[in-house]
Structure 1
């Protein structure tokens, strides 16, 4: 048995412990078995209740579209947990006129069993890939050959496992050309590479399949699907040896210098990229999440423990090929401090140097999403995807300038950093871990953004600005924020200004020795997750907010602790483990899931949730992904009746000799497979569109 194949069976501590369809292989390769270890947040800060409630209001704010930098003026937004009424005074005119009028209507699909190897879409729709793992990007790129892969070939081809995606139009193309951005979160060489390959060669292929991709798209008209353009001038791969500029206060600090980079400003590669965001000035943000699983460290320092860095050999064993992945080697003690940042990429300049922004803090970033405050400052919301970790907000020092792209591309390099503290307004006895609503009929309360760095100075006793930004988790522990159930995607609505915090799950909450339920995290053993809705007090740069739970997820038929903003439970699609979210043109929320419904093991999918009116909280399933896959990177072009998703890690639990999926290159019904053809699942970005378009 090859080293690559053997690794699969020796690194599965989550085997027998995962819930629903979550694969122990995914746990090993994606997040280094985070849930198998002890909780790394052992700080004593807890949850503080404030029974008194206040009526909060918010002023107008400016929101911007993904790439067009078109301002949307918002009126006052609802702050209560009560469902909005259509046309009610709590909504901005844009939201009031738009909610419920999406052009993309569909009949929700029934939940699909997890073992089904198919992409299931609503009646009247079909799907096809935009681009797949291994597709050639450049004129000199070889065609994908599964049986004859090389690291050199992979470096010129589309990478593996796409999480965040976005499509930005190319100016002057009359909606017929665009750029697609994707990141490549992690690889699974067990199903990618034949067992006969040399282990070092397999590692090289895996490294080359990490990183980011920008690729041009084209279509005949708005009613036709997109195709990628091989050899287009904007096509680009970002690899593990691509140089990133570190910006902000930590740039050049002794905490980030290594023997290979004594400047502390030039970092090679980006790792564990999860979700992201698109800025008003047309750049892409990508979050470095589970970077710890790529490094061997001493594992003894407070920072090592807080960031889950250990002395164990890694799953991929890159430390055998490159000394920087073993930080015990002379001169590389700080290499891990160079990962865990928000990355910014200019997809319209293939010669540009991507940036890592130290001012936005270092932790397991799920992503970052931006909105412009009424004051003109840029505000970014960020989740730390770890059990019992925190929600963060960044507010830029300087202000956004309409049309000044060069200036706006500096806005994330300096500013204030905050972490969230939530306070519930119900008596402690009513939050008992069952998910039962308190007497006032809602999980809700107020909150405060606690300062970490303000005005260029540290707000944390005993820590410098550089230390706060490099060791952000340790700094946050000192100021008493609220421990959350794995904040993943955090998105502000550009129609209402409300912020949606996706808490995917936390099956450790309430276990002996671990924090119990709180009003903002109301269930013990929270396997299905929930979504928090935040309304800032004042504009987005405010330090206070109101909050309520939009959803407490699960299958209502199996789990009585579910809640859908008061919408009848028997009329919703079951949903669990929310992960990535996006908005359509009228402001409704679309949710991609990862790992559930845990109670009965359905396939993951994409779901639409109405946010206002009589149907607030209504969940409708739009699609389901294939066997052992995760739904990622939703893009909703409802005005064109088109939806995009990234299908990540299909057939994750198979092996090269025993594949569990053949997505997306299925053999058509009735056709005979080509004799001797070698096939494997290929993670891909797909588009779903009407069959009569």
Structure 2
């Protein structure tokens, strides 16, 4: 990485194609910002909170999540050097991949790659072979779904190098799925096929000696969850009048899950998935003015390029079923170890455009779930359980743990900055060389052991806070952020990281101005926030780890690291940690005119802020669901070739099969050729 000239002007916008915007989020960025609340944003708040130093380094005892059980991650006298000094760069020794526009998965020198599973590959034993020209809903319901996003790799106990791969399927894009798709006149078969292509896939995968390759197995755990699978509503919204429909008079059961973006795993072996841009699936108009106004806060009724699903199923017609949309926008929990289990939607955790839900367990067994609301000027949340986790490994303990996310307190974040007079919208770093501040978590909803809630917001019932959580955040003056997406807690240090993807409306006419955590006007490249959180409490301090973009420009910041020695990075989306405590970031919508990628970031020591590009995904694709282990890196390659002026008739990509093949969203794996460790 050669030194770059200073003060190079960049004026690029997100590279996400308009066709992706249409089908992924219903053209969210082309519409008015849903948050029109008059609540303060923290640029208006005097920094009156004293900064506290909490949970620094190895002083915190942190519990890591995973199916292997709960392990103390810090304070272990037997830790090796990397664990004793987490996140200092061990595991990031590779030659960075240069920015490019190749139609390929580009990996560092000395690494190999393979495709684990593609859209349409069999998941269930009786799945037919994928046939692009003759797809059916019946076939798709047994095959790997479309546009893979979150991925979890769960070890199968007692079986060497065998795992459950659990993957979410965020959205469908008709013009790239079918040879004869008319967006104004979709067919019933296409509609039903798209329903079946949503949801999640559970697939057994098996490694092989001397290689990082993973091969799908048609095993006993395999399962497809789709847009018609039955879900159970649990918590303070369940059974309320706000979620009852003509098909579900009791408000307790929901058909399907949609727009499942990122997610998380739990220490008790389940997978969480966030329902994000659910609003785009609904047509029609709500008649009741109060309900209509509440729906607009979620972007409902604004889709100017509809999918027309209401033509085939009235539950997608807001005029006929105004409450159906209230049954989406939740955190979903799936038990991948029981294919017959009914997945649940946790209403105690609030309803918004969940990017993910990620778990941290405190030293006393309290479970904390963090989640971002992926919308311009929306909020950051956490749920703190009232129950403690049970760790004895019995069936009774697991049953108890699977109820943990239904009893506790939901909070929304409010931040303040340490340098309010130095933030001018240019991204200039404050005089003491860092963007820093403090914050508090404001409680908005308590849920008891009986599943009933207590509202902590004046003028709203518990069910209203659960269903219209955004309005509760508005009411208490939560901080308006630049698209808060994935949260991840470092299992080595307990520090929490948040990807803030971008916000082109920041500081524009009539919109909230800049503040220290969102320091740039018309923010095209996003930033990464670092929290030192009192996880079960209400106080935190924060700093900006990265202010993303071209390191040659003045408005970028890499934790004080030499910017001539970092890779350009734009639009951070999903986060992950490697075994050494380094942060890995995948991107979505790179505004620097190159393909999206996966990056390592050193968090501690002299190299803090060093950012290196590990891979890039094919043209038109987004990097999702990163998993970084000692010997493998997995990424979900979403929407390859999804570019404007292209369809299945003239594809822009032929990845992963090459030749003249149609592009297929796929999960890929990368490993070192010599069988060594990643970044070693």
Both structures adopt the same fold (TM-score exceeding 0.5): yes
Alpha-carbon distance between aligned partners in 1 of 2:93 and 2:81, rounded to the nearest angstrom? 22
Alpha-carbon distance between aligned partners in 2 of 1:251 and 1:57, rounded to the nearest angstrom? 37
Instruction: State how 1:42-191 maps to structure 2 within 5 Å.
Output: 42-46=36-40, 47=42, 48-50=45-47, 53-58=50-55, 60-74=60-74, 95-100=83-88, 102-103=90-91, 105-113=93-101, 116-174=102-160, 176-191=161-176
Alpha-carbon distance between aligned partners in 2 of 1:41 and 1:405, rounded to the nearest angstrom? 39
Match of 1:651 in 2: 641
Indicate the SS of the match to 1:473.
helix
- 8 A contact 1:384–1:390 mirrored in 2: yes
Match of 2:450 in 1: none
Residues 324, 479 of structure 1: alpha-carbon distance in 2 compared, 3 angstrom cutoff: same
Match status 1:361 vs 2:340: no
Q: Deviations over 1:403-433 (max 9, x none)?
A: 221111110112100000001111x331000
Match of 2:283 in 1: 296
Cα shift at 1:302: 2.1
Residues 222, 462 of structure 1: alpha-carbon distance in 2 compared, 3 angstrom cutoff: farther
Cα shift at 1:50: 1.0
Match of 1:626 in 2: 618
Indicate the SS of the match to 2:22.
helix
Alpha-carbon distance between aligned partners in 1 of 2:606 and 2:421, rounded to the nearest angstrom? 31
- 8 A contact 2:259–2:278 mirrored in 1: yes
- 8 A contact 1:74–1:92 mirrored in 2: no
Instruction: State how 1:152-551 maps to structure 2 within 5 Å.
Output: 152-174=138-160, 176-195=161-180, 199-221=187-209, 223-230=211-218, 232-298=219-285, 301-310=292-301, 315-329=306-320, 332-402=321-391, 403=393, 404-426=397-419, 428-454=420-446, 456-537=453-534, 540-551=535-546
Q: Deviations over 1:285-311 (max 9, x none)?
A: 000000000012425522111001006
Cα shift at 1:259: 0.9
Residues 462, 123 of structure 1: alpha-carbon distance in 2 compared, 3 angstrom cutoff: same
- 8 A contact 1:297–1:304 mirrored in 2: no
Of the structure 1 ranges 476-485 and 189-198, higher mean CA displacement relative to structure 2 is found in 189-198
RMSD value, Cα? 2.0
Task: Specify every segment of 5 or more residues in structure 1 that has no aligned partner in the other structure, as ranges.
Answer: 1-16, 77-86, 668-672, 674-678
Match of 2:549 in 1: 554
- 8 A contact 2:283–2:309 mirrored in 1: no
Match of 1:5 in 2: none
Match of 1:14 in 2: none
Cα shift at 1:221: 3.4
Q: Deviations over 1:654-690 (max 9, x none)?
A: 21110000110013xxxxx6xxxxx310000000112
Indicate the SS of the match to 2:264.
strand
Alpha-carbon distance between aligned partners in 1 of 2:655 and 2:425, rounded to the nearest angstrom? 40
Alpha-carbon distance between aligned partners in 2 of 1:416 and 1:308, rounded to the nearest angstrom? 26
- 8 A contact 1:552–1:563 mirrored in 2: yes
Aligned residues: 640
Residues 147, 52 of structure 1: alpha-carbon distance in 2 compared, 3 angstrom cutoff: closer
Alpha-carbon distance between aligned partners in 2 of 1:168 and 1:43, rounded to the nearest angstrom? 42
- 8 A contact 1:20–1:602 mirrored in 2: no
Match of 1:9 in 2: none
Cα shift at 1:518: 0.4
Alpha-carbon distance between aligned partners in 2 of 1:94 and 1:571, rounded to the nearest angstrom? 23
- Structure 1 segments of 4+ aligned residues over 4 angstroms from their partners: 91-95, 311-314
Indicate the SS of the match to 1:421.
strand
Alpha-carbon distance between aligned partners in 2 of 1:37 and 1:222, rounded to the nearest angstrom? 51
